[in-house]
A and B are shown apart, each in its own frame.
Chain A
Amino acid sequence: QKEVEQDPGPLSVPEGAIVSLNCTYSNSAFQYFMWYRQYSRKGPELLMYTYSSGNKEDGRFTAQVDKSSKYISLFIRDSQPSDSATYLCAMNNNDMRFGAGTRLTVKP
């Protein structure tokens, strides 16, 4: 069993939709949680970074962490075609572990 599980999708939504991306994990020692966005042929870029359980909002993006359920989410409001990318969850205590990524397409 992988330490971090992420549904690879692909996920296709119409422009303006609310997108929900999720990861589960098995290692209760993970303390730091991140979401990265990766465009095709590019490196991952940081979207959200959080340390504790709860919600963190940044513009159209909201990251949610539930440590008791070992479950993290990323919500994208008013999705745009420019949000089309692969989204990677990541978490660590001492070493970083990444999910496999969810491929999202937002159609105009």
Chain B
Amino acid sequence: NAGVTQTPKFQVLKTGQSMTLQCAQDMNHEYMSWYRQDPGMGLRLIHYSVGAGITDQGEVPNGYNVSRSTTEDFPLRLLSAAPSQTSVYFCASSSGGARQPQHFGDGTRLSIL
């Protein structure tokens, strides 16, 4: 089972560039979410989706966009990259919403120069 698959694994961007981080899950989970992980900060929720066509903001949504056109895919877009967005990004999914344990991908390590 693939579980949650994130691509790319690593990326270096210049300030002002845009890019899309891809996330796909094959567990037919309705709930999907994006987190960023920074040293000393723990995982912080960026955006989440409770199903296709429905998205909402998390704790730190500024500078990021999401869409959910299918159950399987939940891409995260950086509109104009800033050095403060240098982080490790994790996508997660759950069968029972935010209250249930999350299944995580292995992350995308993003550096903004």
Chain A residues whose C-beta falls within 8 Å of the C-beta of B45 in the assembled complex: 95-96
The 8 A CB mask of B1-22 against A (1 = contact, 0 = none) is: 0001000000000000000000
| Inter-subunit contact B42/A95 (CB<8 Å) | no
Chain A residues whose C-beta falls within 8 Å of the C-beta of B105 in the assembled complex: 43
| Inter-subunit contact A44/B42 (CB<8 Å) | no
Q: How large is the interface on A (under 10, 10 to 19, 20 to 34, 35 or more residues)?
A: 20 to 34
A34 to B99 CA separation, bound complex (whole angstroms)? 10
The 8 A CB mask of A1-38 against B (1 = contact, 0 = none) is: 01010101000000000000000000000011010100
| Inter-subunit contact A41/B106 (CB<8 Å) | yes
Chain A residues whose C-beta falls within 8 Å of the C-beta of B43 in the assembled complex: 44, 88, 90, 96, 98
Contact of A43 among B44, B59, B107 (CB under 8 A): B107
Please tell me the number of chain B residues within 8 Å of chain A, measured between CB atoms: 23
| Inter-subunit contact B101/A46 (CB<8 Å) | yes
| Inter-subunit contact A95/B4 (CB<8 Å) | no
A-B contact count (CB 8 A): 56
| Inter-subunit contact A100/B104 (CB<8 Å) | no
A61 to B45 CA separation, bound complex (whole angstroms)? 27
Q: In angstroms, how far is the closest chain B Cβ from the Cβ of A85? A: 14
Chain B residues whose C-beta falls within 8 Å of the C-beta of A6 in the assembled complex: 42
A97 to B44 CA separation, bound complex (whole angstroms)? 7
Contact of A96 among B4, B98, B103, B106 (CB under 8 A): B98
Beyond A43-B104, A95-B58, A95-B59, whether A32 also contacts B99 by CB under 8 A is yes
Q: In angstroms, how far is the closest chain B Cβ from the Cβ of A8? A: 7
A42-92: which have CB < 8 Å to B? 42-46, 49, 88, 90, 92
Interface residues of A, Cβ cutoff 8 Å to B: 2, 4, 6, 8, 31-32, 34, 36, 41-46, 49, 88, 90, 92-101
Interface residues of B, Cβ cutoff 8 Å to A: 4, 33, 35, 40-45, 58-59, 90, 92, 98-107
